């Protein structure tokens, strides 16, 4: 049985944070992304919600 891990990370500037993590090679799940938060995919079972 695998477990999924969701971590909430507060950020001051969402667009700047997305740009930074995209440059590091991370992707984002568009299903859980809006103007206030985004879901960064760390692995198949680990996600970081930037808000």
1 has a pLDDT exceeding 90 = no
| pLDDT score of 45 | 96
| pLDDT score of 40 | 98
pLDDT digits (tens, 9 = 90+) for 20-47: 999 999 999 999 999 999 999 999 999 9
Residue 22 has φ and ψ, to the nearest 5°, of -65, -40
| pLDDT score of 3 | 94
For 18, the token pair is: 């997305």
For 43, the token pair is: 């692995």
- The CATH number of the structural domain formed by 5-50 is 3.30.720
14 has a pLDDT exceeding 90 = yes
Which stretches does DSSP call E strand in 1-51?
A: 5-9, 27-29, 38-41, 46-50
Which stretches does DSSP call E strand in 4-45?
A: 5-9, 27-29, 38-41
Give the C-alpha separation, 34 to 7, whole Å. 17
Domain ranges of the chain: 5-50
């Amino acid at each position: 049985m695998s477990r999924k891990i969701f971590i909430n990370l507060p950020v001051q500037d969402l667009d700047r944070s997305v740009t930074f993590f995209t440059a590091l090679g991370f992707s984002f799940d568009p299903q859980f992304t809006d103007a206030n938060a985004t879901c960064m995919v760390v692995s198949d079972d680990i996600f970081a919600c930037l808000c």
